[in-house]
Amino acid sequence: MLRFYANLKALQEEVTGSAIPVTIYFPDNTEVSFAVDYGMFQENKYTEKNREKFSDLEKLDFVLITHAHIDHVGRLPFLVKQGYEKKIYMTQVTRALSYIALNESIKIDAIKNNGNPKLMLYHKDDFYQTMKQIEVVEYRKTFSPVPFVNVTFYENGHLPGAAVIHVQAWHPECEETIELLFLGDYKKHNILQLTPDFPEELLQKKVNIITESTYGNTNSWEIPHVWKENMIRFLQEGKSIILPTISNYRLQERQYAYKKLVEEYPEFKKVRTYMEAKLSEQFSTVYKNPYYQFNQEGMDFEPTNLIHINEGNRNLVFRDNRQKVIFTSSGDATNGAAGVYVGHYLSNENYVIYLTSHQFEGSVGQRCLQTKTGEQVELGSGRIYTKKAEVLVTSECSGHAKADELLDIFNQFPNKQSILINHGEESVQEKFLKRIEKECKVKGVARIKPKTTIKIGPYGIIKTFESTN
């Protein structure tokens, strides 16, 4: 039998630190290695994993990037620092967003390590070198980074510029192909870019789908769509609202939703609207840039009369006692200005702190949520507050497809060979796996994780085995 298979594994343990190293073994005894994403671990318990080196780096032929979130691109400069000199493929919008995200990541790393360059994960030089190694690709234009491998990026609504990546391996000595489809973090739509359906030609392929499972145990219909309703109620009650939101694109999406809400309820025009989110303002410059040819409607995402605030004039907000809405980042209120605003208003019963994303263990957002009204909460650096504001989180604004939506995607591919899941909490992954087995006509399902290698041939999973690294 001909030697023709691909070995896949994942570097991420749970939600963050996305990276999938793949090696394809061809019949002529050659090999090709690539990685899909190389992200930062953001959970506190995995911080040290960021320093783990890429094994067999000298064999790595190319890198493909699904989207510009830091848990998917954050360690690229570290890869370059380790000696990676070849190409990194991504869309043009992902490149623009990655420039901002990686530049910021150096600053955060410097703060964490008290500016000690020896402790930092990577430096400016590595960052600039990374940008040089990026090769921009267009959606639906197949290219061959190396012989016998075809790569095509498809639109993905998770984030502007995001992609679903199809990798096809073929060989003249073999009639069959190996088809890998990396969904990345997946969502069907966003307000800036069109996401047309996958072409029939792709749908008919014998794909092996590699997918996230962040919401693997939640169905879209189980999530109440209460954001708008809640916002209206709080505003009608005269409350002021702080919206700590993920800086890259989720904040812009909330701004758009709020803008639409005010259009529908003109009585809210009198509510002052502030934004202090330095990093988010930088991402917004990409989303407002006509060069990228986004949908005009989506580019006008900012609420009318939005007042842009920075650290220097923050007092304007604090001195303004009128009813207001404050857009700020980060999503779990730990970094950026969000923590300052949350701290400032947490003891004020006329305020609502409205969170809309995953709250990491130990984050400011999670600590506020877990504290009962009237009790004290410590928000880091010895800042102690009595919680009087209402703090809540809802999850319908997330950028991830829910279990039923992912199953719909999988079932669009009638000839799929296997489904490999990663990128979710372990218990969620196990449940999702069982459901896929039940509801999808597919021969193989498996969890893709560290120290487990999955061997895939033209007809799907050949075997799964434990590896040493």
Residue ranges that bind Zn ion, judged by CB under 5 A = 69, 185
Centroid of chain to Cα 362? 20
Q: Which is nearer to Zn ion, 37 or 126 (CB)?
A: 37
Q: Which is nearer to Zn ion, 185 or 302 (CB)?
A: 185
Q: Cα separations (Å) of 245 from 74, 197, 242, 255, 353?
A: 19, 29, 9, 10, 11
Tokens of 455: 């061997």
Taking the complex as a whole, the smallest distance from the CB of residue 69 to Zn ion amounts, in Å, to 4
Taking the complex as a whole, the smallest distance from the CB of residue 448 to Zn ion amounts, in Å, to 17
CA atoms within 13 A on the CB side of 64: 31
Q: What is the DSSP string of 364-420?
A: HHHHHHHSPTTSEEE-STT-EEE--SEEEE--TT-SS-BHHHHHHHHTT-TT--EEE
Q: Which is nearer to Zn ion, 42 or 133 (CB)?
A: 42
Taking the complex as a whole, the smallest distance from the CB of residue 94 to Zn ion amounts, in Å, to 11
Q: Which is nearer to Zn ion, 185 or 276 (CB)?
A: 185
The DSSP H or E segment spanning 283 is helix 278-287
Residue 330: cis peptide before it, omega within 30 degrees of 0:
yes
Taking the complex as a whole, the smallest distance from the CB of residue 215 to Zn ion amounts, in Å, to 13
Taking the complex as a whole, the smallest distance from the CB of residue 68 to Zn ion amounts, in Å, to 8
Q: Which is nearer to Zn ion, 9 or 69 (CB)?
A: 69
Taking the complex as a whole, the smallest distance from the CB of residue 256 to Zn ion amounts, in Å, to 19
Taking the complex as a whole, the smallest distance from the CB of residue 125 to Zn ion amounts, in Å, to 27
Taking the complex as a whole, the smallest distance from the CB of residue 157 to Zn ion amounts, in Å, to 11
Whether 455 and 418 have beta carbons less than 8 Å apart is answered as: no
Taking the complex as a whole, the smallest distance from the CB of residue 214 to Zn ion amounts, in Å, to 9
For residues 1-24, one letter each, b for 16 or more C-beta atoms within 10 angstroms of the residue's C-beta and e for the rest, the string is eeebbbbbbbbbbbbbbbbbbbbb
Q: Which is nearer to Zn ion, 73 or 326 (CB)?
A: 73
Q: Could you give the angle at which helices 227-236 and 250-264 cross, rounded to 10 degrees?
A: 60
Q: Which is nearer to Zn ion, 358 or 416 (CB)?
A: 358
Q: Which is nearer to Zn ion, 168 or 211 (CB)?
A: 211
Q: Which is nearer to Zn ion, 75 or 367 (CB)?
A: 75
Q: Which is nearer to Zn ion, 69 or 171 (CB)?
A: 69
Specify which residues 352 forms β-bridges with: 241, 390
Residue appearing with tokens 């994942």: 10
Q: Which is nearer to Zn ion, 24 or 163 (CB)?
A: 163
Tokens of 89: 């493929």
Q: What is the DSSP string of 11-37?
A: --SSSS---EEEEEE-TTS-EEEEEE-
Taking the complex as a whole, the smallest distance from the CB of residue 75 to Zn ion amounts, in Å, to 15
Q: Which is nearer to Zn ion, 69 or 166 (CB)?
A: 69
Taking the complex as a whole, the smallest distance from the CB of residue 212 to Zn ion amounts, in Å, to 8
Burial (CB < 10 A; 0-12, 13-18, 19+), residue 201, is exposed
- Measured distance CA(29)–CA(162) in Å, rounded: 34
Taking the complex as a whole, the smallest distance from the CB of residue 233 to Zn ion amounts, in Å, to 30
Among 96, 186, 129, 149, CA closest to 421: 186
- Measured distance CA(147)–CA(129) in Å, rounded: 25
- Measured distance CA(426)–CA(62) in Å, rounded: 29
Tokens of 55: 């094994």
Q: Cα separations (Å) of 278 from 23, 244, 273, 337, 339?
A: 40, 13, 16, 8, 13
Report which residue type is found at 161.
G
